[in-house]
Structure 1
Amino acid sequence: MDFISPLDDRYYSELRDFATSVSERAFVKYRLRIETLYLDFLINLLSKVGIVKPLTSNERDKLLSLEFSDEDYARFRELEGRLGHDVKATEYLLREKLSNAGLSEIARLVHLGLTSEDVNNLALNVLIKIAVYKHLIPELTNLLVTLTHLANEHVNTPMLGRTHGQPATPTTFGKEVAYHAYRICYWLWEIISIKLQGKVSGATGSLASFKVITNEVNWLDELMNFVHDLGLEPALVTTQILPADSLTHLLTSIALMAQTLINLTQDLWLYNMIGYVHVSGKPVGSSTMPHKVNPVDLENAEGNFKLGSSILMEISRYIQVSRLQRDLSDSTIKRNIGLGIGHVILGIKRLTSVLNNIKVDVEVMSKELNEHWETLSEAVQVRLRVLGMKDAYEKSLTLFRGLRLSRTEYIEALSRLGADDPMLMNLNPHSYIGYAREVTINTINHCNEVLSTVKTQVDEELSRLRRLGFLNQ
């Protein structure tokens, strides 16, 4: 079959469940459910002021149990093709389903008072919540758990640090892994802290159509309650469209989080290059060089993070602007949100797979540390200054700068400095790791606390979406 996006073909098996949640078909399903929930809400309100009859328990059960099938989607496409309007097609589809369910008397109330964007903004935010809480965050937490386990496993594994690509003071592999875990924690917390907004405010944001329905309802409060019950924060003022700021905040946060994961993939790539870690490759690494074992999954992850981040950043930039009360140029842009998040999720899956199969070569790390005793020069100049040597840094500079020293040469350098301090004499690159162990353990504990909070919020969000009927079909 012919596909435009590789997510729908080459990588589909890894994203099948995600595709089901964010496809065009899914978006139509969510809009139909919004229309259904709004109809239930509207009838309940209007029945209280005597405009319509309240639904019986059986009628309400029928209404809220309406499902969305492949046949419904095919019918929607027929209606949209004839009408040239997707939300109107959704409205007509719901009317037909109501008639088929024996609820034709309430069909006239479908979409009453609403504009298309009232439905679209709510359905899109449902789609995004499902994408984030059902798919993105679980993959991120899997990655984070994998990183914290790796950090804990190597909390005491010393290795040579590198700044500007050159040997620097030693660190531990566990701390360097913990650094990346900590960055993921930051963005996880940021993402779950963002409250997406929603609105039901009519064609230009004045709620004019609702005042025509009846003056006996406090529409401002009631419609905000409707939005709030969907798990969204009601926007106080809108045009025809919802202000894009909360959505932009979320999408840019996901995009920037992906940038931090690029940092992780590139560090792992470099560690693999110098032999600190060994990343598993495919059975064939090269079509012409049989010896090659290429870190293709790691490079694939990096590419997906770059593309996903770019897509989400561009969407965020674009949707910040809409002419006057609205223009339609954002519609096609927003339909690519799932594509951007999909690339990020694919990258996370590949990266997690790499980390689950990575081999850390402690011997290579130890051997290289033993070849770089000059990296203790920081300790030397700091300690000698503490002991009273005024020009300790300058003297150390002349003895250590640009050189690679063995243990013997290091001891000779101390002698030339007149340093017979036991601390410096007994120091070695393996032991000069400061508080790396404590920092790593503190970071792991912090990440575990974040993971606990994230799990609670994911459970709450998914429970609400199930209760509202968005995850039941």
Structure 2
Amino acid sequence: MSNDTYATPLSSRYASKEMSQIFSLRNRFSTWRKLWYNLAIAEKSLGLSVVTDEAIEQMSKHLEITDEEIEAAKKEEAIVRHDVMAHVHVFGETCPAAAGIIHLGATSCYVTDNADLIFLRDAYDVLIPKLVNVINRLAKFALEYKDLPVLGWTHFQPAQLTTVGKRATLWLQELLWDLRNMQRARDDIGLRGVKGTTGTQASFLSLFHGDHDKVEALDEKVVELLGFEYAYPCTGQTYSRKIDIDALHPLSSLGASCHKMATDIRLLANLKEMEEPFEKSQIGSSAMAYKRNPMRCERVCSLSRHLGSLYQDAFQTASVQWFERTLDDSAIRRISIPEAFLTADILLSTLLNITSGLVVYPKVIERRIKAELPFMATENIIMAMVEQGASRQECHEEIRVLSHQASAVVKQEGGDNDLIERIKSTDYFKPIWSQLDKLLDPSTFVGRAPQQTEKFVNVTVANALEPYRSLINEEHVQLAV
């Protein structure tokens, strides 16, 4: 690739080879050839004698387009101003016995639209295994830390305790929904099939001399040869661009899940409670050598925003298609559809890297809990005093005064929370001094977080992953620079 021309970072820097290959020129044009080849097979099987064995044999030997043929098609397109006809011409030169029957009865969208639908399906087949493995690795992380108490945050203000594992289940649950949505979208993709110029199959009806059954059989045969379950029953010249909305919406939703998870990890990195993997030779800042920037999660957030915006391209395009078709969908779809899948691919590859090496700092977590827990434990302390015969109202006032004094030390003096020391030095609370350690045990403040986490992972997550067990692996994903 030339260093003098722009290349999208999605393919040149970040995306996997398998996803980039799906949307490559070679795969696009080779897929067109496979579509022409299968159309010819189907037409011959239904009695079109003009399609010969020699034509099909020649086509079968040249389904993968060469670099020379791609260049020849570019030159031809510059003359005829039509990409499909340029490739029909070049394919015909390569397969002279088939030159007269390539694209027989078809419109350009036979190859362009059917190819796009194949790419959507194949692209999901790259994404889904990656998401499965992200979920699997995050589930293991959740189980490992299901019992570790951690300060909860609501409004990014200290709240009741949860556990590190329980917090991970919040990320996991959203990713499970993404898996469900992506699998549904993938399985719902059909082919446009062979529908002719405005979707009426008029050209094919003419080819088969008015035999409607053979026209329907042709559509079914091509769908079968290409490995799909069905073709959309009604199309114009194109398949409905609403299909693109259905295909891109789960990716947009995935972007929201990724952004939320990555943002949480970035905030936790600032709190020094959890970090993404940091390589030994990695440099965080050119000036501040001590820094450990969460660059992986920052990349996830950055690209998630882009992914979310691409859904709007599909929405707007579908809404302005006139009658049987317009061509104002073409240019934008060449950009938004590949970019959506390339971006989703990058996000999942990055999350695979992150979830393979999340680092937790229990001592930092413990210190933060100790700073906040005394305030949270005041109700437990009051209840313990009441059990010893104290008045709740009197106890509430005693602990209110001590709490405000401790709060002033923290906020005004920058000191540690000394509420417990104040309680231990106040004779009023002497009846429960021996209980304070138990009353302040963090594990008693996490509710059912450990049990919820264990059940969620071992039941909900396990059931969701069961159909994908063969896809689960422990491969290390090297992060792109």
The CA distance in 2 between the partners of 1:379 and 1:143, in whole Å, is 40
Does residue 64 (structure 1) correspond to residue 60 (structure 2)? The answer is yes
Query: What aligned pairs does 1:199-348 form with structure 2 within 5 A after superposition?
Result: 199=192, 200-214=194-208, 215-218=210-213, 219-227=215-223, 229-231=226-228, 233-279=230-276, 280=278, 283-336=282-335, 337-348=337-348
- Alpha-carbon offset, residue 348 of structure 1: 2.4
Worse-matched range after superposition: 202-211 or 314-323: 314-323
Task: Describe the SS at the equivalent of 1:160.
Answer: strand
C-alpha change, 1:232 and 1:217, in structure 2 (3 Å) is same
- Report the counterpart of residue 367 of structure 1 in structure 2: 367
Shift of the 221–41 alpha-carbon distance from structure 1 to 2, 3 Å rule, reads closer
Ranges in structure 1 where 5+ consecutive residues have no aligned partner? 386-390, 459-473
Whole-angstrom CA distance in 2 between matches of 1:186 and 1:20 = 27
**Match of residue 186, structure 1, among 168, 177, 180:** 177
Which has the higher mean CA deviation after the structures are superposed, 214-223 or 327-336? 214-223
Change (3 A) 1:54 1:412: farther
Aligned residue for 2:444, secondary structure, equals coil
Deviation at 1:62, TM superposition (A): 5.1
SS at match of 1:451: helix
Match of 2:475 in 1: none
**1:166, distance to aligned residue in structure 2 (A):** 0.9
Residues 226-277 of structure 1, C-alpha deviations (whole Å, 9 max, x = no match): 3365325422222211112233112011111111100000000011100101
In 2, Cα distance between equivalents of 1:330 and 1:202:
19
Comparing 254-263 and 212-221, the one that deviates more: 212-221
Counterpart in the other structure of 1:358: 358
> Offset at 1:454?
4.0
Q: Aligned partners of 2:62 and 2:377: how far apart in 1?
A: 71
CA contact (8 A) 2:120 2:247 kept: no
CA distance in 2, matches of 1:291, 1:304: 26
| 2:99 counterpart SS class | helix
Of residues 442, 464, 467, the one that matches 1:450 is 464
| CA shift in 2, pair 1:19/1:186, >3 Å | same
The answer (yes or no) to whether the contact 1:117–1:240 under 8 Å persists in 2 is: yes
The 2-side partners of 1:185 and 1:242 are apart by 30
| 2:447 aligned partner | 434
Task: Give the SS at the match of 2:95.
Answer: helix
Is 2:109 the counterpart of 1:117? yes
Query: Contact (CA 8 Å) 2:148, 2:165: kept in 1 or not?
Result: yes
Corresponding residue of 2:41: 40
| Aligned mate of 1:129, from 110, 114, 121 | 121
1:326 is displaced (CA, Å) by 1.0
Cα pair distance change 1:326/1:263, threshold 3 Å: same
**How far 1:140 moved relative to its partner?**
1.8
Q: Which moved more, 1:144-153 or 1:437-446?
A: 437-446
Larger Rg: 1 or 2? 2
Cα distance in 1, alignment partners of residues 60 and 454 from structure 2: 50
How far did 1:93 drift? 2.8
After the TM superposition, which of the residue ranges 257-266 and 374-383 deviates more from structure 2? Answer: 374-383
Overall identity of the aligned pairs, in % = 20
Instruction: Give the aligned partner of residue 90 of structure 1.
Output: 87
Q: Quick one: which amino acid aligns to residue 121 of structure 1? A: D
Counterpart residue type for residue 262 of structure 2: T
| Greater CA drift, 115-124 or 86-95 | 86-95
C-alpha separation between the residues in 1 aligned to 2:82 and 2:29?
Answer: 12
Compared with structure 1, are the counterparts of its residues 448 and 174 closer, same or farther at alpha carbon in structure 2 (3 Å cutoff)?
same
The C-alpha deviation readout for 1:119-172, integer Å capped at 9, x for no partner, is 2111001112222212x2232223222211211211111101000111111111
| 8 Å CA contact retained: 1:380, 1:424 | no
How many angstroms apart in 1 are the aligned matches of 2:219 and 2:382?
A: 68
Q: Equivalents in 2 of 1:67, 1:384: separation in Å?
A: 83
Structure 2: distance between partners of 1:129 and 1:450 = 21
Structure-1-length-normalised TM-score: 0.81
Q: Which string of whole-angstrom CA distances, capped at 9 and with x for unpartnered residues, describes residues 312-338 of structure 1?
A: 443343234312221111111111211
Tell me the secondary structure at the aligned position of residue 206 of structure 1: coil
CA drift at 1:39: 1.4
The amino acid that maps onto 2:198 is T
> Take 1:244 and 1:380, find their aligned partners in 2: how far apart are those partners?
63
Kept in 2: contact 1:137–1:188 (CA 8 A): yes
Alignment TM-score, normalising by the size of structure 2: 0.80
Match of 2:6 in 1: 3
Choose which of 134, 141, 159 in structure 2 pairs with 1:143.
Answer: 134
Q: Which amino acid aligns with 1:152?
A: L
SS in 1 for 2:304: helix
How far apart in 2 are the matches of 1:381 and 1:230?
69
Q: 1:449–1:382: structure 2 CA closer, same or farther, 3 Å change rule? A: farther
Contact 2:145–2:163 under 8 Å retained in 1: yes
Q: Which amino acid in 1 is paired with 2:32?
A: R
Distance of aligned partners of 1:440 and 1:381 in 2 relative to their CA distance in 1, 3 Å threshold: farther
The code of the aligned residue for 2:238 comes to I
Summarize deviations over 1:425-449 as a string: whole Å, max 9, x none.
Answer: 6463332212212221222232233
Q: 1:7-66 CA deviation, whole Å, 9 max, x = no partner? A: 343x15x53332222123322221221111111111111x2xxx417865x875654343
Give the number of equivalent residue pairs: 441
**What 5-or-longer segments of structure 2 have no aligned partner?**
387-391, 408-416, 473-481
Distance (Å, rounded) in 2 between the aligned partners of 1:325 and 1:410: 79
Which residue in 1 is equivalent to 2:21? Answer: 20
